Amino acid sequence: MTRTELRDGVFLTEIEDKRFKKQEILISLSAPLTRETLTQSALLTYMFARGTRDLPDMTLLARRLAYLYGAQLTRGASSYGFCRAVYAWIDGIVPRCSPEQSLTGDYVRIALDTLFDPTLKDGEFDSEWTKIEKQKLADAIAAEYDSKRYYCFTETMARFFGEADVRSLPDCGLISDLASITPRSLAEYYRALTENARVEIVSIGERIDRSLFDGIAPRLSPEISKPIPVKPRETERLEISDQVNQQKITMCYTTGRMLDFKERAAFHVGSALFGGVQSSRLFMKIREKKGLCYSCGAAPELLSGILTVDGGVAFGKEQRFVDSVERELGSIARGHISKRELHEAKLALKGALMGAEDNSQALMRWYYGQIAAGQELLSPSDYIADVERVTADEVAAAMSELHLNVIGSFARGNA
Amino acid sequence: MTQIIASSAVDERVYKTVLDNGLTVLVCERPDRVGANAVLAVGVGSASASYEENGHRVSYPAGTAHFLEHMMFAGRKTDAMTEFARLGSACNAFTAVEKTCYTASANNNILPSVDALIRFVAEPYFTERRVRRERSIIGEEISMYADNVYWQLVNGGMSLIYHNHPCRDDIAGNSESISQITAETLYQAYRAFYRPSSMTLSVSGRVKNEEILELAERILGSKPHADAHTSFPVDEPLHVVADSKQIFMPVGMTQCAIFYKEPPIDNNRLPTEMLVDIILDTVFGETTDFYRIMYDSGLINQSFSTQIFVGESHFCTALTGETPNPEKLRDAINNEIERVKQNGLDRDRFAEVVRSRYGDEILDFDSNSDIAYSMAALSMRGHGPFDVLEMLKTVAIEDADKLIQNLFVRDRSAMLIIKPIERI
């Protein structure tokens, strides 16, 4: 892995790996996450789907991608802590698997044109297209409600961060913001973003010609705030209800402080042991032994010491589920960790990290996640060494700091 | 005897061996990879509810194949989760209409993990106590899928077009059917369906063919050869059950599934399935003017997609997505089908879709998990691992134009609509 600053505010991270048949290229514009620009950034990625100056409508763009052996172009806007990243992620077969040799150049050009040369008319986005894409984004926001488990999770996380914290805002934006966005205001936001945002380019697969990025101007990369911890507070409950067949539960925990490198590995192992792998307490005790749920798990946010648990349980078993989760977490925090379960959690985590080395998409998520969060870049192998050094005492210490701030529940209503 | 099948297009070689008892073993050696993935596929799925034996019909409750899948990891001395945790690898399983797949993903202890996967499937151990506990977990799984909108769209659509075929039933069964399943039911079903001749072991990654063959021979080699049971013939008319149906769920906006029931494909299903997939994309995919017109008119959004469901005695296609006006969308789709039937498929679009599929196939040979699954799935249908790639080289628009004339018949279609219920 190499990381180079091509010019001010423009970074290229390359993972050259000739084993892969898939080339992955992600180009992102990173800026501070703000309430004012959240929905604009989400809508912008919908406008990107309309085409580029070279391929000025969505059909031509789709046909070009199909011609390039079905290359996939994903445009999106995601929040990473206080960073908002607007990105174009393209993947397709590597040149050696096709008679054409220029595929990688084509991929780069499409991703660059998507971000830097979208279809604009007289400096504005097309008004009809803007109207159409606003409706599509509204549809997508409405569809967030379809997966009740995900909806319960996002609503509970929003409560966890609190209204004043921009991290409580949904990735897809807010429907209430859409009406005020005009083709002109969107173009103005777009120009400000492309001129100022930090540019991150990540490529996995074959080496790419760096001159393809010559057109990206240097920029004053904006300062993005580092994540801050969520302070522990009295546990509150969020109740959502509708006509569902199974109750969904999300539990949000915080350590209340940022974790350093060593603590992060211990927190990661602790989260795996608690609910991140098949041998975990949540899987083995709550699902397999008690049969309380079909699916439940725990996921950590390592930097700011946050842990979420989510699952689906039968009606009437919510409290039993919550009590069981709390009991298992308490037991780990008190240091009741057997040598065997610690070894197995580390082994499973190590296996998952090693597996990322075999999968270009997993590698992209691994590296880009660190880049977007402003972390020092570690390869999966580097991180394995940190994981292997973790002791049971360190796990217990990390998990003992967790405090349950919010329990969210999506239950059956009476309608 | 081991056969070596190679493809220069993806630069991979696959070793294929059929043991004396009929078990097929496929190995894709990839020494430059860190780990390996294994799939043990068994030719039993939710559609295998009935079979014929000595002139009698033997039937199992709906959801039996799926229940077996859950129970297979129970184990006599230890369960699979404990065993795989010890090895630092992961196991999983899923049941489909015509097959059940058990999978292992290992980056540590690769051979012991493949060994464990085969052993758990080879040595079933069911107790009434464990069956009771698993029934509760499966009950939660059924509830989870009852809240899954796409699942309801597809299952609901299937039950609108199929009168009797078991593909209309939920793969997991229902609370009543799973309450009838006992340890004895599972043993009977295991003996009936889990026969080496209907199993394929497929492994891709940092393994050697001889090592995998040794494991397969040692654990499954002593199981006697027995022909797989054939499913009891289903009396399924070509007409649909109902033209349309509307249900209500807590969803963000209205969505629909438009199904077309097609005559079952008797032999060599793969080329037809591949061609229908290409036709669907050529007519309705993102590269078409139809897609853009529907998208811009607001009748579809990014959720619009097409699917094919093909099995031994069923074949249907579906177009699904969110729409404010399902009836208008259905009319537009039917009109487009008639237009294409009259004018023929767009030659350029067809060629682009074929290139796109070719790229997809190449990428199916990138990750170990995709390779292991793809090899098993194709083998179970009598095909080699690279057959789709080869077929794509010779696919002809003339065949597609001919095929489409008999597909997507309005009178053999049905539409399921899911409307939002008023939020509480």
Residue B423 confidence (pLDDT): 63
Q: How far is B256 from chain A (nearest CA, A)?
A: 14
Is residue A67 within a helix (H) or strand (E), and if so which, with residue range?
A: helix A58-67
Burial of B264 (0-12, 13-18, 19+ CB in 10 A): middle
What's CA B196's distance to the chain center, in Å?
20
Confidence of residue B311 (pLDDT cuts 50, 70, 90): confident
DSSP-derived secondary structure letter, B47: T
* Record: contact A294-B137, CB cut-off 8 A: yes
CA dist A4 → A200, A202, A308, B325 (Å): 10, 11, 35, 51
CA dist., res. B200 & res. B17, Å (int) = 10
Which B residues in the span 155-184 are in contact with A, Cβ-Cβ below 8 Å? none
Spell out the alpha helix ranges (H) of A117-182.
127-143, 148-161, 175-178
Take residue B224 and report the two structure tokens written for it: 């006697």
Q: In what order do the strands lie in the sheet with B413-420?
A: B244-249, B413-420, B255-261, B315-322, B305-310
Nearest to B246 by CA among B415, B412, B422, B421: B415
Please tell me the distance in Å from B279's CA to the nearest CA on chain A. 14
What does the pLDDT read at residue A197? 95
Spatial distance between the Cα atoms of B96 and A68, rounded to a whole number of angstroms: 32
Contacts of A69 in chain B (CB under 8 A): 355-356, 358-359, 362
Report pLDDT for A414: 56
Output the tens digit of pLDDT for each of chain A's 415 residues.
999 999 999 999 999 999 999 999 999 999 999 999 999 999 999 999 999 999 999 999 999 999 999 999 999 999 999 999 999 999 999 999 987 778 999 999 999 999 999 999 888 999 999 999 999 999 999 999 999 999 999 999 999 999 999 999 999 999 999 999 999 999 999 999 999 999 999 999 999 999 999 999 999 878 888 889 999 999 999 999 999 999 999 999 999 999 998 899 999 999 999 999 888 999 988 887 887 888 899 999 999 999 999 999 988 899 999 999 999 999 999 999 999 999 999 999 999 999 999 999 999 999 999 999 888 899 999 999 999 999 999 999 999 999 999 999 999 875 4
The DSSP symbol for A144 reads: T
In this prediction, residue B229 carries a pLDDT of 74
Structure-model confidence comparison of residues A133 and B225, the more confident one: A133
Amino acid at A376: E
Task: Return the sign of the alpha-carbon dihedral for residues B69, B75, B76, B79.
Answer: negative
Q: Do B355 and A241 touch (CB under 8 A)?
A: no
Residue entry with tokens 């749920």 = A293
Dihedral sign for Cα B374, B375, B377, B382, please: positive
B91 and A278: CB-CB below 8 Å? yes
- H helix or E strand, kind and range, residue A62: helix A58-67
> What number is the ipTM of this complex?
0.93
| Cα–Cα distance, A67 to B356 (Å, whole number) | 6
pLDDT of residue B77: 87
pLDDT of residue A415: 43
CB of B8 within 8 Å of a chain A CB? The answer is: no
Residue type, A151: Y
The verdict on B133 touching A (C-beta cutoff 8 Å) is yes
Q: A361 to chain B nearest CA, in Å? A: 10
Neighbour tally for A56: CB within 10 Å: 13
Q: Provide the number of CB pairs (under 8 Å) joining chain A to chain B.
A: 201
- Residue of A20, A43, A126, A358 to mutate when probing chain B, most B C-beta within 10 A: A358
B60: nearest Cα among B71, B42, B47, B69? B47
> CA–CA separation, A151 vs A172, rounded Å?
12
Count of other CB atoms within 10 angstroms of residue B338: 12
Are the Cβ atoms of A312 and B367 closer than 8 angstroms? no
pLDDT, mean of residues B130-150: 92
Q: Comparing C-alpha atoms, which of A107, A67, A58, A54 is closest to residue B349? A: A67
B87-110 residue pLDDT tens: 999 999 999 999 999 999 999 899
